[in-house]
Amino acid sequence: MSAWLAVTGILLLFILALTWLAVIPGLSASSVEGAGAFAYPLIFLPFVSSAFVPTKTMPGPVRWFAEHQPVTSIVNTIRNLFAQKPVGDDIWTALAWCIGILVVAYIFAMTAYRRKIA
């Protein structure tokens, strides 16, 4: 039961962080298409992570990127929680990424909002 709560909490925090990240182009873009194009780079993050294959099987530069991006630590944490294995440092890395993205995105979104209404 606690694993499900932890997974739900991490996913909700990640969704909240990505939502605030999406607010920035929504406020800054001059068109709907411009704001929508922002999502394309985010769509590829799961494909260059440990979501589908272990990072140790990836070539050097791709492995380095995969090991140092937020989706990998989130996926590893969720996978280990569901498998009832120790999560190690991945949970702290996942939380740091989510909170970091959330705080930075919120600051930039508020700055974009203030510029828009000024």
Q: What are the structural domain ranges in the chain?
A: 2-117
Residue 111 backbone class (left: φ over 0; alpha: ψ -120 to 50; beta: rest): alpha
> Within 13 Å, how many C-alpha atoms sit on residue 83's CB side?
9
Please give the chain's pLDDT, 118 residues, in tens: 799 999 999 999 999 999 999 999 988 888 888 888 888 888 899 999 999 999 999 999 999 999 999 999 999 999 999 999 999 999 999 999 999 999 999 999 999 999 988 7
Q: What DSSP string describes 62-95?
A: HHHHHHTSHHHHHHHHHHHHHTT---TTHHHHHH
Q: Which residue has the tokens 């702290």?
A: 92
Rounded CA-CA distance 4/67 in Å is 24
